[in-house]
Amino acid sequence: MFGDARSIPRDATLETDVCVVGAGAAGITLARELIGSPLRVTVLESGGLHYEPETQALYEGPSIGLPYPDLSVPRLRFFGGTTNHWGGICRPFEEADFAAREATPFTGWPIAKSDVDPFYERAASVVRLPTRDWSLDRWAPGDEPAPLRLRSEHIVSRVAQEVEPELRSFGEGYQEELRLAPNVTVLLHANATGVTTDESGRTAESADVATLEGNRFSVVARNFVLATGAVENARVLLTSNAQQPRGLGNQHGLVGRFFLEHPRFLGGVIVPSTPHPNLGFYESHRVDGLRMQGYLASSKEFQFAEGLLDLQMRLELGYGDAPEDASDFARRLMTLAGDLDSWQEIAIPGAPIPIPYLDVIRDALRSPEDAYIYLRGRIESIGVTTRIEQAPNPDSRVVLVRERDELGILRVALDWRLSDVDRRNVRRTLELLGAEIGAAGVGRLQILHGEDDTGWPEDLDGGQHHMGTTRMSDDPKEGVVDSDCCVHGMSNLFVAGSSVFPTPGGATPTLLLVALALRLADHLKGMMLR
Amino acid sequence: MTVPRRIRRKTFLLGAAGLGASLAWFGPSPFRGASLAGSERLASLLQHVDGALGVGREYLQQVPAEASPEVLTARVAERLPGGLGTIDTASNGRLRELLLSAVEEDFRDLRTMELHGWVLARTEARLCALAALGAT
Amino acid sequence: MSGERAESDPAGTPPAGEPLAGISRRSLAWILDVALVTVLIFVAVAVVDEIFGPTVRLHRDAAALEDVLAADPGRVVLNAVLATLLSVSYFVIPWILLGGTPAQLALRLRVRGSAGGETLPFGRALARWILLFPPFATVSALTAGLPLVGAFVWGAAAVWYVVLLLTTARSDTKQGLHDRIARSVVCTRGREAAYRAAHVR
């Protein structure tokens, strides 16, 4: 059921068994898993059912490190969280993603892929993926489109599935189910301003809640789960400093540190040796009606051998522009004549000779360049956008700043940093890619940034993947939470979401964070229902 | 996912030291006749000669020890069966084939170089260098 | 001779006294008719598109190239039906009423029943239309996205028209496969009276 924090009596104390802070992908997944159990669950969601500017403004925070948008841009603060503008791209982590890398400090998860596999199955259903098969055989059964045939095993092709756009928002998808759940209450407009503990600091006792209208109350629970995203999870822990001046879980100063992203930028351009290379596999497309996106990556063997982390390479096909002269135009017409697919779509059916619709002709005359899109023109260049598995960097962090938000809580700023190993990762992998595509006769690669460039490219961007600020480790000196996602030094405060990732892996985070939320739900049920 | 970037051909070619599609590298040659000296012959097989010049000059800067037609031709010849003899006697088509195969081998064995950002096989980089020498 | 109707004539011999039309004139008429009916269809569909919105929309910012062109399947079917009706009307009605399509009439061609009828009855006119214009384009458009089907269809279309042309050229009575099945024959009008006068006893 749904409730609104604005109508809770002031200074009331609500009692529940599990208090989940945040109704995004992780929070909603957790709450759903507890539906029908004997446990009472209260979910505190800061926003309402839809976007509200005043609530969104609570997310504002500057970037003080590498260029990054204001923190209110990549995140959404209403029911469903950031899934309300999610890209839907899913792929599970591989075994090697969980392994420690000798050459790179702070890598390695305290759990293995086998610990997560049982939950991946269920996670795929939660995000509404039609299949759990990511193998190339399944997604490239024939010749068209097909992955690149490269000679060596060091550059591999990978499949990422795409959730259909109308199924991506957890808020829209699971609202009804939570509304009908008798043991789960979602309180909207409920901002958790901090977690209060007992005197020893080992047991969380209550979550303090405030509304923008000035209401205040608290929620007492047996167990608490923070599921507000990496930036906000860190913020809540840091600002819950009534008993622990450094914040909760921060005895070793790790909360907020190791902020991880999948930084991306255009790393290189390939000039293909043929005008129509078979690269449809690397564009977003459908196989048997299901959406997928292929991409290239360095192999795990190559990564281990070179002491590098993962690098994903997305290909962006650049089609040629308007014909340069008469013979060029004639050549393009010949291509058109040969491209039956285009004709079939733009020609009026039933006419004895194929003739395009008037609208198509109008569009073509209005912008001949764009009209070439109809004709699936020549590919003149292929952009290689690199997405880096950022190496864990303790100096890349979310920090409290002096400014306070409307609720009086200290804001955070993001000091995003990368390391030389990230730069070396791109360079070595692109050198390898260049040799591979040259050997395969695909074309020639030009690497856009020189070996001696010390800065980062102008088009450096994050993937809107926030990870690592409450990283997982069995050693309290290297992590904020343990392998059960429980905050070190505490008995009943847990963290869900990608903030627990010690490394970003070579895949998008959503599927894994949902799997970990399912795992945490099972753990909580196991603990509480004995 | 962003809309596919369309890089304007002319600007791209200018910015990229004028390298065109790589198959065109060893396309039909404007030069005819086997009476050219070995080094000229090799350079003549490059289709987009003006494109290769920038890359060639960069090669000459990076490897000054090879900055002479004789040395470059000898190095290229090492990668061909029959060596210098092949360069003199083989037909254009055959020579092109052998060069392409040497280029492929170079890539496979990671004998590559980066010139103006381009990841090129050593052999083709040397051909560009020959063209650059010939142009001066 | 002119009065007798040999209804049970299976081979479909042409009425005596009428010169058969040559292939080139018939082909020219066919080309002109195809062009004309295509223009009619184009205009009709354009009008429908103006009223109800375009059938094919271009989404320039689509993430996937295949989503750039989006054709409304219902409208595609509607257009196919409209085009087919127009095509049928353009050929069949003039054949029945006037013995020739606009281009045929302009080139002084007449489509007659081979057993002596002035013009074709409805059933045979329709059959002739189907044989001259099998729904290759429609099948191709409706199966857009299945490349093998498209190639097969266009290949079949090419073969079909070669067959029609060859059978027409090689027939003594210049009756192609379509003429034989529909029991029609194409004659040159205008010289009819003169011919009859010269040859009919």
Residues A363-411: pLDDT tens digits?
666 655 544 544 455 677 899 999 999 999 999 999 999 999 999 999 9
> How confident is residue C141, by pLDDT bands cut at 50, 70 and 90?
low
- Chain B residues lying within 8 Å of C64, measured CB to CB: 1
Distance (Å) from the C-alpha of residue B35 to the closest C-alpha of chain A?
30
pLDDT tens profile C161-190: 899 999 998 888 888 889 888 888 888 876
Q: How far apart are the first and last CA of chain B?
A: 46
**How does pLDDT run across A445-475, given as a tens digit for each residue?**
999 988 888 899 999 999 999 999 999 999 9
CA gap A209, A409 in Å, rounded = 12
In chain A, residues with a C-beta closer than 8 Å to the C-beta of B21 are 271-275, 443
Which pLDDT value is given to residue A364? 64
pLDDT digits (tens, 9 = 90+) for B10-22: 333 333 333 333 3
Alpha carbon distance A280, B4 (integer Å):
12
CA distance C76 to C57: 12
Contact residues, chain B, for A293 at CB < 8 Å: 1
pLDDT at C157 over 60: yes
Interface check A443 vs B, CB under 8 A: yes
* Residue A281 contacts residue A157 (beta carbons within 8 Å): yes
The answer to whether the CB atoms of C150 and A345 lie below 8 A apart is: no
Q: B57 by DSSP, 3-state: which?
A: helix
- Name chain C's partners: 3 or more CB pairs within 8 A: A, B
Q: Which amino acid is at B104?
A: E
Chain A segment 236-295 residues within 8 A of C by beta carbon are 280, 283-286
Confidence of residue B47 (pLDDT cuts 50, 70, 90): low
Phi, psi torsion values for A410, nearest 5 degrees:
-60, 140
**Which amino acid makes up residue B109?**
D
Provide the pLDDT for residue B9: 34
Q: CB distance from B1 to chain C under 8 Å?
A: yes
Partners of A370 on chain C (C-beta within 8 Å) are 58, 60
User: What is the per-residue pLDDT for A62?
Assistant: 96
CB atoms B21 and A273 under 8 Å: yes
Contact present, A379 and A318 (Cβ < 8 Å) = yes
Per-residue burial over A55-73, b if 16 or more Cβ lie within 10 Å, else e, is bbebbebebebbebeebee
**Band (B7; pLDDT cuts 50, 70, 90):** very low
3-state SS track over A58-91? HHCCCECCCCCCCCCCCCCCCCCHHHHHCCCEEC
How close is the nearest chain C Cα to the Cα of B20, in Å?
A: 25
Give the residue extent of every domain in chain C. 23-193
Sequential DSSP letters for C34-99: HHHHHHHHHHHHHHHHHHH--SEEE-TT-SSGGGTEEE-HHHHHHHHHHHHHHHHHHHHHHHHHHS
Question: Which is nearest to A168 in space by CA: A133, A208, A126?
Answer: A126
Q: Is the pLDDT of residue A261 over 90?
A: yes
Task: Tell me if B4 and C65 make a contact (CB, 8 A cut-off).
Answer: yes
Distance CA A492, CA C185 (A): 94
> Are A350 and A276 a contacting pair, CB within 8 Å?
no
Pairing of strands A216-220, A204-210: antiparallel
**Cβ under 8 Å to C: B residues 3-32:** 3-4
Strands A18-21 and A41-44: parallel
DSSP state of A92: P
Residue B5, min C-alpha distance to chain C (Å):
12
Question: Rg of chain C's alpha carbons, rounded to an integer?
Answer: 20
* Cα gap A130→A290, rounded to integer Å: 8
Q: Which residue from C109, C90, C110, C125 is spatially nearest to C28, judged by alpha carbons?
A: C109
Share of chain A above pLDDT 70, in %: 91
Q: Measuring CA to CA, which residue among A126, A46, A55, A2 is closest to residue A514?
A: A126
**C59, closest residue in chain B (CA to CA):** B3
d(CA A30, CA A528): 14
CA A338, A344, A348, A353 torsion-angle sign: positive
Question: Which string of b and e fits C112-129 if b means at least 16 CB within 10 Å?
Answer: bbbbbbebbeeebbbbbb
CATH topology for the A2-57+78-128+163-254+466-528 domain: FAD/NAD(P)-binding domain (3.50.50)
Q: What percent of chain B has pLDDT over 90?
A: 23
Q: How far is CA C19 from the centre of its chain?
A: 22
Show residues of chain C in contact with B5, CB under 8 Å.
none
Q: What is the pLDDT of residue A408?
A: 95
Are A319 and B110 inside 8 Å of each other by CB?
no
SS (H, E, C) A175-199: HHHHHCCCCEEEEECCEEEEEEECC
| Residue A60 or B38, more confident | A60
**Cβ pair B134, B38 in contact under 8 A:** no
Q: Do A373 and C60 touch (CB under 8 A)?
A: yes
Indicate if the pLDDT at residue C70 is higher than 80. Answer: no
pLDDT band with cut points at 50, 70 and 90 for residue A262: very high
Quick one: which H or E segment has residue A437? helix A420-439
| Confidence check: pLDDT of B34 > 80 | no
Quick one: pLDDT at residue B49?
Answer: 58
8 A C-beta contact, residue A189 and residue A47: yes
Task: Say yes or no for a CB contact (<8 Å) between C151 and A340.
Answer: yes
Cβ contacts (< 8 Å) between B127 and chain A: which residues?
none
**pLDDT at position A333:** 54
CB burial string A229-263: b at 16+ within 10 A, e below: bbbbbbbbbbbbeeebeebbbbbbebbbbbbbbbb
CB C37 within 8 A of CB C102: no
Assign A344 a pLDDT band (cuts: 50, 70, 90).
low
Average pLDDT value for residue range A468-485: 97
pLDDT at A487: 98
Q: What is the pTM of this model?
A: 0.71
Q: How far apart are CA C83 and CA C80, in angstroms?
A: 5
Q: Which residue of A has its CA nearest to B6?
A: A318
The CA distance from C55 to C42, in Å, is 13
Q: Identify the band that residue A214 occupies on the pLDDT scale cut at 50, 70 and 90.
A: very high
Rounded CA separation C84/A351 (Å): 7
Q: How far is B4 from chain C (nearest CA, A)?
A: 8
pLDDT at A502: 98
Cβ contact A286–C45 (<8 Å): no
Sign of the CA dihedral with B41 first, then B47, B50, and B56 last: negative
User: How far apart are alpha carbons C2 and A431 in whole angstroms?
Assistant: 88
Indicate if the pLDDT at residue B37 is higher than 50: yes
- Taking contacts as CB-CB distances below 8 angstroms, the residues of chain A near B6 are 318-321, 369, 380
Pick the more confident residue, A188 or A329.
A188
Rounded to whole angstroms, the Cα distance separating C88 from C37 reads 10
Q: What is the pLDDT of residues A130-183, one digit of tens each?
A: 899 999 988 987 766 789 888 888 999 999 999 999 999 999 999 999 999 999
pLDDT-wise least confident of C20-24, C32-36, C58-62? C58-62
- Average model confidence (pLDDT) across chain A: 91
Q: CB distance C60–A370 less than 8 Å?
A: yes
Contacts with A87 (C-beta within 8 Å, 6 or more apart), sequence order: A162, A168, A508, B1
Q: Are A439 and A149 in contact (CB under 8 A)?
A: no
Cβ <8 Å between A358 and C45: yes
Q: Does residue A211 surpass a pLDDT of 90?
A: yes
Q: Which residue has the higher pLDDT, A377 or C56?
A: C56
Note the pLDDT of residue B69. Answer: 87
Would you call A52 helix, strand, or coil by DSSP? coil
**Subunit contact B3:C65, Cβ cutoff 8 A:** no
pLDDT at C5: 39
Which of A284-288, A293-297, C71-75 has the highest mean predicted lDDT (pLDDT)? Answer: A293-297
Residue contacts between A and B (CB atoms, under 8 Å): 101
Least confident of A216-220, A354-358, C137-141: C137-141
Q: C55 with C71: CB under 8 angstroms?
A: yes
Containing H/E element for C184? Answer: strand C184-188
Prior bond of A67 cis (ω within 30°): no
Distance, CA of C99 to chain centre: 14
Chain B residues contacting A via beta carbons under 8 Å: 1-2, 4-9, 12, 16, 19-23, 103-104, 106-108, 110, 112, 114, 116-121
Joined together, the tokens standing for residue A524 give: 């909580």
Contacts of A349 in chain C (CB under 8 A): 76, 79-80, 83, 137-138, 140-142
> Would you call B24 exposed, middle or buried from its count of C-beta atoms within 10 A (0-12, 13-18, 19+)?
middle
With H, G, I as helix, E, B as strand and everything else as coil, classify residue A159.
strand
Question: What angle is formed at CA A465 by the lines to CA A462 and CA A467, rounded to 5 degrees?
Answer: 115
For A77-127, what is each residue's pLDDT tens digit? 999 999 999 999 999 999 999 999 999 999 999 999 999 999 999 999 999
- Contact at CB, B117 and A317, closer than 8 angstroms: no
Q: Distance of CA A281 to CAs A159, A200, C172, Å?
A: 9, 57, 56
Beta strands in B1-136 (DSSP E): 112-115, 118-121
Closest residue on chain C to A358 (Cα):
C46
List the structure tokens of B94.
């055959």
**Interface contact flag, C60 B1, Cβ < 8 Å:** no
pLDDT, greater one: A341 or A412: A412
pLDDT category of residue B93 using cuts at 50, 70 and 90: confident
> A423 pLDDT exceeds 80?
yes
Chain B neighbors of A284, CB-CB under 8 A: 1
Gap between the Cα atoms of A334 and A328, Å rounded: 10
| Residue of higher predicted confidence among B41 and C72 | C72
Which of B1, B2, B3, B5 should we substitute to test contact with C (largest number of C Cβ atoms within 10 Å)? Answer: B3
Neighbours of chain B (3+ CB pairs under 8 A): A, C
Gap between the Cα atoms of A69 and C31, Å rounded? 62
Question: Lowest mean pLDDT: which of A392-401, A464-473, B74-83, C66-75?
Answer: C66-75
Average pLDDT of span A347-362: 79
